[in-house]
Structure 1
Amino acid sequence: MGENFILILFLLCCSAFFCFSEGALFSLSRPQRESISKQGGRVSAAIGKLLSNSHKLITTVLLADEIFNIAYSSVIALTARKYLQDTPEQTVALISLAIASPTLLVFGEIVPKTAGVKFPRTISKAVALPLYSFHVAVTPIRWAILFVSGFFIRAFGADLGHRAQGNYISSDELEVLVGMGRDEGVLNEVEKYLADGFFRLEDLPAHGIMTPAIDCFTLPHDIEVKEAVGRVRQMGRSRIPVYEEEKDNIVGILYGKDLLKWNFTEHNLAATVSECLRKPYFIPRSKPAGALLRELQTHRIHIAIVVDEYGRFDGLVTMEDILEELFGEIEDERSVPDRVAPAVRGGAITIPGGMKIEEFNDDYLFSVARSAGLENLGDILEEAVIPLRMENETMGGFVFDLFGRLPAEGEKIGFGGLVFTVKSREGKRISEIRVDVNKEARGDVH
């Protein structure tokens, strides 16, 4: 009887040992791991080797847990069978289960794993050498388990790639950690704003921050240097897209500083800018701003040309455009003061056609709806939020889409409790829109 109890206690301690090890090693923070590594010695080396491949370490721990847990339960069952010979098999099985399960759960899992998590550094050092010895000893068994399990995992389309090799976290998890850092005072509001900006860049497509092609200052490739100098000086731009034959065909970027270095002889002034162009960097509309920022830094360029699926010039994005998403508006001595923000007067507001739909929804919709009175405020706000569609980025484009044709100046159309009036056009482009509350039938064209 005594031998059985000693064996049961030994197996329970073995199970607890591996739970200790798992909880401690996987709770080591990166600074703790680096600190232990700098100390040197056999213990540090063992910890480094164990954590160098977390997938193998987990397999070793699970293998040991299964071996000792099954052995523990089996010895308890045999011992119970020995002392309860006249008891029915089902009753003996239930008694064995009632003893093995709670003791194994509490003393073999919960208590040791909790202790390991609470004291990771101390326990990791204590268990490193024996655990590493066991880890090496079961290498053939572990290899067989990984081979078989890997076959089935790959059959279901999963991947045991390098993510399993280290302590990686997803961008969503990192975003949650940033929020926790602000709530706990680790990050201040400015640091939180900057961190959130980096997350926004990964979801922000290039077309969301680009300057549309229609607003871009461009030059033809056959313009003479003398004339180009005057036009560049007049516009005050430092990097200008250059097209050949038609504006959709961008063939290069003209840098203002390249013009400054030009040898201004009579012969050279008659030359065309095509002789001093730089290669354009083309990107699709859907290019994430975060990835674009990294590429611009890698290639050491400051401007990218956005093209649509048909290869037509759609707009341009500069390094400054991306950085402004992080830090806000960047101004220098050459910056033109911003337009005066639209204000609601007489229950109506006049906005530029190039205003982003998101900006209107966030900054101006409430002010317009409020002018109709509090009793209708909720209904108007619910109905009048402009949908964010891929084909419409600006209010001018949205109103154009509502009409389904090019509207004339002065034409009106209703949408969700609002009336949009085309105040002015520039060619085929709606340049100004008046927005007020539709107090009559909503959705009618006048």
Structure 2
Amino acid sequence: MDEISTGSMLLLLLFLILCSAFFSSSETGMMALNRYRLKHLAKQGHKGAKRASKLLERPDRLLGLILIGNNFVNILLTSLATALAISLLSDDSLAVALTPVILTPIVLIFAEVAPKTLAALNPEKLAFTSSIILKPLLVLMYPLVWLVNWISNIVVRMLGADPNKMDGDSLSQEELRTVVHEAGGMIPKRHQQMLLSILDLEKVTVEDIMIPRTELIGIDLEDDWQDIVEQLANTQHTRIPVFEGDINNIQGIVHARNALHLLAKGRFTRDTLMQQMRDAYFVPEGTPLHTQLLNFQRKKRRNGLVVDEYGDIQGMVTLEDILEEIVGEFTTDTASLDKGVHPQEDGSFVVDGGISIRELNRLLSLTFPEDGPKTLSGLITEYLEEIPEQGTSMRLAGYPVEVMQTKDNTVKKARVLPELFDEAKAKQFLDNR
């Protein structure tokens, strides 16, 4: 073989290696594209994103095209390299033996590993560029691609899989949670927490955040009228339930502003109060927060009375409580900020028994179980299986707890240590109470 033909073959070998690298990098680049970013760019009118998105609508055809091209190039590359080796060496057997030894590392490095690594690091740049060639190439080779896919799909079906059933791009809730966590600096930490809180709304029910019945503040029409006037004049609440004798005998909800307006004009009577009331809105217990948020929006309400299966009122849930689950506390009312948790000098906390387990865990970073009783009082009572006496000590979820006050068959106050102590220290703490 003369010098010119040998040089031509070397140039052709180099071209084939570049073609192999193109197909290898195209495969990795296309498959490594972020599908959500790709959809966003395509909607923004990015031409490369549109081409890549169109090709990825049928990934089986795209892979078929790339693999056909890559295998064809590699086979041609091997044949040409063997022919070149035979022409350069007098021993044909030696040429055939040396060709794979020399060609394999060259193809592996320059046509596989290096281009695929580069494509994995810069998938968009390589995928969008390669789509310029892949799109017309798919049209040109469509009959062969279709035939290869048809045969391979038969094999896939024989193995018990459905080639037409491809996993969509939809994300589960836990996968979306991971995406938010992995967003890093792209989403501010505060916004990440808000997004995660929105995802948690489905897991939390109205009982977890409601104001329990024992802490509801309302107007009892059987009270002395002067006491009702004083209660309205000093109330810190905007919407107040009105009942007669018992909270279950609810008459309606009155807006404090309207009642105070009547009071200022000297026209505050039982009849005018009843006229200003709005019918109470009832919420079944067990309602998830995301559902209740939509119900508040649809019914144009800001609060609702939570009722059990017998229709008895269990507490009140407000729109503000749900929003605080998403954005955190935003009230400036000192009474609301108290939350019934009082720090002590010894590192413990005196906690109101009616506080919700969810709120207590959030305030003190504790891990009391939230899938059972909703209040600390209920959790203690369930654990002891009786109404505890003052001074009773125990360990709940590993935390030392002491009952400080009981009243009306409930725990009114308890002392909680927010740290998990070892057995000896916990025993010493409980023995000293």
Relative distance call for 1:117 and 1:304 in structure 2 (3 A) is: farther
User: Residue 289 of structure 2 contacts residue 322 of structure 2 at CA under 8 Å; is this kept in 1?
Assistant: no
SS at match of 2:338: coil
Corresponding letter in the other structure for 2:66: D
Partner of residue 320, structure 1: 320
Partner of residue 196, structure 2: 199
Structure 2 CA distance for aligned equivalents of residues 64 and 257 of structure 1? 72
User: Residue 11 of structure 1 contacts residue 68 of structure 1 at CA under 8 Å; is this kept in 2?
Assistant: no
| 2:170 counterpart of 1:163 | yes
Partner of residue 17, structure 2: 12
| Equivalences for residues 42-191 of structure 1 within 5 A | 45=47, 47-52=49-54, 54-56=56-58, 58-76=59-77, 78=79, 83=86, 87=93, 98=101, 101-116=104-119, 126-137=129-140, 141=145, 145=149, 148=153, 160-163=167-170, 170-178=176-184, 181=185, 191=188
User: Residue 349 of structure 1 contacts residue 435 of structure 1 at CA under 8 Å; is this kept in 2?
Assistant: yes
User: Residue 304 of structure 1 contacts residue 317 of structure 1 at CA under 8 Å; is this kept in 2?
Assistant: yes
**1:126-167 C-alpha deviation (Å, 9 max, x unpaired):** 444322212444556469849949978975997533539xxx
Shift of 1:176: 1.9
SS at match of 1:350: strand
Relative distance call for 1:404 and 1:280 in structure 2 (3 A) is: closer
Shift of 1:67: 0.9
Partner of residue 212, structure 1: 212
User: Residue 11 of structure 1 contacts residue 71 of structure 1 at CA under 8 Å; is this kept in 2?
Assistant: no
1:276 to 275, 278, 282: 278
User: Residue 251 of structure 1 contacts residue 279 of structure 1 at CA under 8 Å; is this kept in 2?
Assistant: no
| Equivalences for residues 19-58 of structure 1 within 5 A | 19-21=24-26, 45=47, 47-52=49-54, 54-56=56-58, 58=59
**1:313-340 C-alpha deviation (Å, 9 max, x unpaired):** 4444323223334554333579666378
1:429 to 381, 406, 410: 410
Corresponding letter in the other structure for 2:353: G
Q: With structure 1 as the length reference, what TM-score do the two structures score?
A: 0.63
| Equivalences for residues 265-414 of structure 1 within 5 A | 269=271, 272=274, 276-277=278-279, 279-280=281-282, 282=284, 284=286, 287=288, 293=293, 296=296, 300-303=300-303, 306=306, 313-332=313-332, 338=338, 342-345=342-345, 350-357=350-357, 387-408=368-389, 410-414=390-394
Structure 2 CA distance for aligned equivalents of residues 320 and 311 of structure 1? 24
Shift of 1:64: 2.6
Shift of 1:51: 1.7
Structure 2 CA distance for aligned equivalents of residues 158 and 320 of structure 1? 44
SS at match of 1:161: coil
Structure 2 CA distance for aligned equivalents of residues 257 and 427 of structure 1? 34
Relative distance call for 1:77 and 1:297 in structure 2 (3 A) is: same
**1:266-295 C-alpha deviation (Å, 9 max, x unpaired):** 99927957983265455625x256x75566
**1:393-424 C-alpha deviation (Å, 9 max, x unpaired):** 4332232123211124x252333797644332
Relative distance call for 1:425 and 1:201 in structure 2 (3 A) is: farther
Q: Which runs of 5+ in 2 are unaligned?
A: 418-424
Relative distance call for 1:37 and 1:136 in structure 2 (3 A) is: farther
User: Residue 27 of structure 2 contacts residue 66 of structure 2 at CA under 8 Å; is this kept in 1?
Assistant: no
SS at match of 1:342: strand
Residue range with higher mean Cα deviation, 239-248 or 342-351:
239-248
Q: With structure 2 as the length reference, what TM-score do the two structures score?
A: 0.64
User: Residue 251 of structure 1 contacts residue 280 of structure 1 at CA under 8 Å; is this kept in 2?
Assistant: no
Q: Which runs of 5+ in 1 are unaligned?
A: 366-384
Structure 2 CA distance for aligned equivalents of residues 329 and 37 of structure 1? 37
Corresponding letter in the other structure for 1:412: T
Count of aligned residue pairs for this structure pair: 399
User: Residue 412 of structure 1 contacts residue 419 of structure 1 at CA under 8 Å; is this kept in 2?
Assistant: no
SS at match of 2:411: strand
Structure 1 CA distance for aligned equivalents of residues 28 and 197 of structure 2? 35
Relative distance call for 1:325 and 1:244 in structure 2 (3 A) is: same
Structure 1 CA distance for aligned equivalents of residues 416 and 123 of structure 2? 63
SS at match of 1:407: coil
Corresponding letter in the other structure for 1:59: D
Relative distance call for 1:194 and 1:229 in structure 2 (3 A) is: farther
SS at match of 2:386: coil
SS at match of 2:113: helix
Relative distance call for 1:162 and 1:297 in structure 2 (3 A) is: farther
> What is the aligned-residue identity percentage?
21
User: Residue 283 of structure 2 contacts residue 307 of structure 2 at CA under 8 Å; is this kept in 1?
Assistant: no
Residue range with higher mean Cα deviation, 339-348 or 424-433:
339-348
**1:289-311 C-alpha deviation (Å, 9 max, x unpaired):** 6x755665566543355556777
**1:204-245 C-alpha deviation (Å, 9 max, x unpaired):** 51343332233234679x99xx99995766644333567899
Relative distance call for 1:386 and 1:23 in structure 2 (3 A) is: closer
User: Over aligned residue pairs, what C-alpha RMSD do you find?
Assistant: 5.6
Structure 2 CA distance for aligned equivalents of residues 344 and 311 of structure 1? 40
